[in-house]
Amino acid sequence: MGLLEILENALINRPKKEQVNLKEIFCKRRDDNYIKRFNTSVVGARYRNVDGSQRQDAIAKLKPGERLRLIWDAGPNGRKNKINLLRGGRSQQLNISHCVGRLSDKVSADVIRWLTQENIVTTARVVKVSGGTRKRPKLTCVVELTTYPGPKKK
C-alpha cells in the first residue's frame, strides 16, 4: 500500500471491505459405501441470520429426509471452523435466509479436518424437527451426517 493510499484511508472514513470466504462441501454419493453416519443437533437455531431473517422460519419449512447444504465459512484468514446449514438444492442460488443454523464447533472442526486432510466428504439430511409446542415454542432440528470417501486426487 502506497503512502497516498494510507493518507486517503486515514483522512476519509471508508468502510473496510470485508472478505467473505464461503465454500460448499458437496457430495453426490447416496450409496451404502459410507464411512461413518451419526446424528447431531443444529446449533444457533434461535438466532437471526445476518440479513435479519429468522432461522425459525427456515426450520418450520424443513421436512424429515430433506438434504441440507453444508457451507464452510472459512473467514478472511481461512482458519475459522464454522459450517452453516442451508435449505435448498444445488440448483438454487445460495441465500442466507435459508440458513437453519450451524454445526457445533467440535463437529465443524471434524468435518473440515476430514475434508482437508483425509479427503472425506460429508452430507447432511434432516432427521427430526421438534418444538413448536406450548412448552417448547422454539423449533430445533436434528441432522444426520454421512461421510464418504472423496474423489481420488490425480
CATH classification of the domain holding 38? 3.30.70.2330
Q: Cell numbers for 16, please give them.
A: 473496510
Separation of CA 49 from chain center: 12
> What total number of domains does the chain contain?
1
Domain around 75: 18-149
With a threshold of 0.85, does the pTM exceed it? no
> For position 68, what pLDDT does the model report?
93
Grid look-up 453416519 returns 37
In a domain, 4, yes or no: no
Give the residue from 110, 130, 132, 134 showing the smallest Cα distance to 122: 110
Grid look-up 454419493 returns 29
Distance separating alpha carbons of residues 64 and 114, to the nearest angstrom: 26
Among 23-32, 91-100, 115-124, the range of highest mean pLDDT: 115-124
In a domain, 5, yes or no: no
